[in-house]
Amino acid sequence: MRASEHGRDNRQVVITGIGPITPIGNGAEALWDGVRRGVSAVGPIRAFDSSPFGARIAAEVEFEPLDFMNPKKAHRLDRFSQLALACSQMAIADSGLTAAEIERTGMGIYTGSALGGVAFAEEQHVAYMKGGLRAVSPMLALSVFGGASASNVAIEFGLSGPSVANANSCASGLIAIGEAARLIRSGEVDAMLAGGIEAPLAPLTFGAFALIRVLSTRNDDPGTASRPFDAGRDGFVMAEGGTMLVLEAEDHARARGATVYGRVLGYATTNDAHHMTAPRPDGSRAARAITAALDDAGLPPAEIGHVYAHASSTVLNDSTECRAIRLALGDHADDIEVSGTKGLHGHALGATGAIETAIGVLAMTNGHLPGTANLAEQDPACDMAVTPPGGRDAEIRSLLKNSFGFGGINASLVLGAA
C-alpha cells in the first residue's frame, strides 16, 4: 500500500542503501576507504587519445560490467546504462529491499546526468562515418536519451513508480535526490531509488569542455590537478562514475528493520539567471538555495555542523560559493569548516552530487569530516575555514551539501545523521 493511502504527509526521509562506482572505490565501504586514504585517482586518460587537447587527465573508474550483468545485457547497454544498472543493483542490495517489497511500495527512480548517453552517440557517429548506417548499433536510439539509464533500471528491478531523469548539468544528481525525497515526504511513495550517473569520457565530449577552458591543464602532475579553494587552481578534472541511493520513509524503513545511514532533511534549487558558465558574482541566488534548503529542513544556520561544498576547483566557482555560504549562514559561517573532495575523485558532472551525498552521510556515520585534498595555499578569496587534506574526526548532526552547474543551476541539500 502506498503512503498516500495512509494519509501520511511530511514524513522523515532516510537513506538505507548506497551504491557507488567512483574513481576512489566501488561500494559504500570502498568509497569511504578511498576518502580516508586521501590519494587522488586522477591520472592520464586511458579511455581515448587525449594528445590533441590541452587537458589530458581525468579520473576514471575501475568497472567490469560482467561483475553485475550477463554478457548479453552488457552488450545491449552502453556504459551510461551499465553504470546505472550496477549502482542500482548495489544500492538495492545494500538496503536489503526484496523484490516483493519493491513491488508493494510502487518504488520509483529519479536520476540525474549532465550528458546521458552522448559518449555512446559519439562512438556510433564514428562507426557511421566509416561504415554507414549498417555499422551503427541498433541500440543507439534507445541509449542516448537521458532517461535511458533510469528506464533500464526500472525494467531490471520492476520499479513501477514515478520515473524522472533530469539533465540539470552538474547539479542534476543532487536534484534527483532532493526531488525524490519530496515525493516520499509528501506521502506519494514509501521508497525511491535516486542518484546520478555520468559516462563522459569520449574525445569530442571531453574536447568540448577543453574548448571552453574549464578543465585543469596540470598534466605533468595529475594527482594535484584538482585543488579546491587553492590559490593555484586552474580548472576542474573530468571524471566518470555514479551513485544511486535508496531513500525511504523512516516509518517504512524502521518497520522492516533497515539500517539507516542518514537523513535527507531539506532541499532547494534556484537559478542565477545570469550566465551559462560563470556563477552570479554576488552569490545571492546560490545563497537563496541554501537558505531555502535550511527552511525546508526547519533548521537555523547555527544547527549546520559542516558545509560539504561543490568546490569544483574552477577559478570563479570556489570563491563565489564561499561568498554564497557566508550570505546564507551569516555569522555562523565563521564557526564551521568547509570541505571539498573533488581533489580525490574529480568532477563526474551530474553524478558528483550523488557521489558526494553518499560521502556526506558516511562522514556523519563515521564521525570524520572529509579532507580537502591538494590544498597547499588557500586562496584569500575563499575566506572560510577549510578542512585540510586528510580531514579530521568530528561528530556532526547535520551538514549542508551544495551542487552547482552550468546555466546557473544551484541545488542545496541538508543531510542529518541517522
CA atoms of 147 and 157, how far apart (whole Å): 16
Backbone angles phi, psi at 86, to 5 degrees: -65, -45
Nearest Cα residue to 338 out of 294, 301, 366, 306: 306
Backbone angles phi, psi at 289, to 5 degrees: -65, -45
CA atoms of 321 and 229, how far apart (whole Å): 10
One-letter amino acid at 232 equals: G
Helix, coil or strand: residue 27: coil
Place of cell 552502453: 78
CA atoms of 133 and 137, how far apart (whole Å): 9
Output the nine-digit C-alpha cell for 13.
Answer: 526521509
Backbone angles phi, psi at 16, to 5 degrees: -120, -5
- Which residues have C-beta within 8 Å of that of residue 204, sequence separation ≥ 6? 122
H runs (alpha helix) in 330-394: 342-345, 352-366
Instruction: Kindly state the DSSP code that residue 394 receives in the 8-state scheme.
Output: -
Question: Is 163 within 8 Å of 115 (Cβ atoms)?
Answer: no
Helix, coil or strand: residue 30: helix
Determine whether 382 is an active site residue: no
Backbone angles phi, psi at 84, to 5 degrees: -60, -45
Determine whether 368 is an active site residue: no
CA atoms of 142 and 135, how far apart (whole Å): 16
Q: Which of 87, 252, 306, 310 is catalytic?
A: 310
CA atoms of 335 and 322, how far apart (whole Å): 14
Q: Which of 170, 252, 322, 382 is catalytic?
A: 170
Determine whether 345 is an active site residue: no
Output the nine-digit C-alpha cell for 73.
Answer: 545485457
Output the nine-digit C-alpha cell for 49.
Answer: 587519445
Q: Which of 252, 306, 345, 347 is catalytic?
A: 347
Question: Is 205 within 8 Å of 122 (Cβ atoms)?
Answer: yes
Output the nine-digit C-alpha cell for 216.
Answer: 585543469
Strands (E), 199-313: 241-249, 262-271, 306-308
CA atoms of 129 and 281, how far apart (whole Å): 44
Catalytic residue numbers read 170, 310, 347
